[in-house]
Amino acid sequence: MSSYCVATYRCYDDKADFHKKAQSIAVGLTVGSWTELPAAKQKEMEKHLGQVLSVQVTEASDAPDGSGGRYADIRIAYPDINFSADVPALLVTVFGKLSMDGRIKLIDLQFSPSFLSGFGGPKFGVAGVRELLGVHDRPLLMSIFKSVVGHDLEELSHQFYGQAAGGVDLIKDDEILFENPLTPIEKRVEACMAAAGRAQAVTGQKLLYAVNVTGPASKLADQAKKAIAAGANAILFNVLAYGFDTLRELSADPDINVPIAAHPALAGALYPSPHYGISASVLLGKLMRLCGADLVLFPSPYGSVVMPKEENMAIRHALVTDKLDEDYVYRAPGSVDNLPSLLLRSSFPVPSAGIHPGLVPWIIRDFGTEVVVNAGGGIHGHPLGTAAGGQAFRQAIEAVMNGVALADYAESHPELDAAIERWGAKQ
């Protein structure tokens, strides 16, 4: 019995016969032609033929997503035998040339048990990151270097200490900080981890520093190992620039035994259109988790680079759900597999961009406590300084966890009060 991975497409066309369209996709992306083949050849090729599972047509002129137009959601199963067990091969199979065939978007993927069993997922995941930090009962707080290009080690170390002294749990490089003569990765790690040690002596708090691993793809693993040898305890990776399989290899490497934070750079070229590209929940949810991201950054619904809330919630679900058989797995009718129970550690969702302390109630309301609150300007732009910016976020988290309104908590916490005065507060 064949096993299959399943792609779901949303296809827009005002006049098309969507059932014929679905059949042409199933054939065209697998065996190429079917009715022209002699019966004997059809029997031989049947195991390679794509299968149309369903076609759901919406005739309404105003689609629910506001895109307008007549569309169909088409589900097609692709035999595993057609492609190697890696994400690049799967994506090229199900959406390679099809992505250029008019208004069609890949909105979901399900994987066969055998395909899924080849992926380890996050090495640490939510529970592992929490264990490293010793923080189990609240959302985590991440801060971002702001203004990094052209600064030397002394300036970066000073900026790092200010963030760490504010009580953040994680600090990440900016995604545009590449290998350069002023702050080479090993010396950058040494300087920043020394600053982390000085801050920990004051705060009593551990933190993770996600250093940006960059350079030629063939040398990325060596770069990561150099950083770890210098003391790095996390890495940041621009996944979409290098590819999902590169993330998978970094995560699977036994010598890269630190959490990986996945940055969404370039994602905006792929997910925002209702008519083209790949849905955010697949691009920044399922595939990031499958290939080993422990933390995944994506635009929040609240800040300066806004993603619709329903897409945020779909990403969150893909990153944290433990219902793999329901959301990730497709078992062909009549198939029997003896694989053990499938398990992928959950990945931390990290809604980002334009976050300030006054948004913390909304973040926790929508994402729960298994979330990383991620801030750049909301920490560095605090009227009382960078350390106070971190403290204001921690105070906002404490207020929400204790069921206290931010305005009330701010009466005895000047850092939070100053943040609310500057940016306002949501309740």
The label of the residue with tokens 């790095």 reads 232
Backbone angles phi, psi at 125, to 5 degrees: 70, -170
Find tokens 């959950």 and name the residue. 346
The span from the CA of 3 to the CA of 43, in Å, is: 17
What kind and span of H or E run contains 8? strand 4-12
Longest C-alpha distance within the chain, in Å? 82
The position carrying tokens 């208004």 is 103
Q: Strand ranges (DSSP E) for 179-263? A: 208-212, 234-238, 260-263
CA 210/CA 160 separation, integer angstroms: 12
User: Quick check: is 15 catalytic?
Assistant: no
Name the token pair of 191: 């300087």
b/e string for 56-68 if b means 16 or more Cβ within 10 A? eebeeeeeeeeee
SS3 288: helix
Query: 21, 97, 323, 426: which one is catalytic?
Result: 97
What gap in Å lies between CA 36 and CA 417, rounded to an integer?
Answer: 74
* Residues counted in the chain: 427
3-state secondary structure of 346: coil
Q: How far apart are the first and last CA of the chain?
A: 54
CA-based nearest residue to 274, from 10, 97, 76, 2: 10
Report the catalytic residues.
97
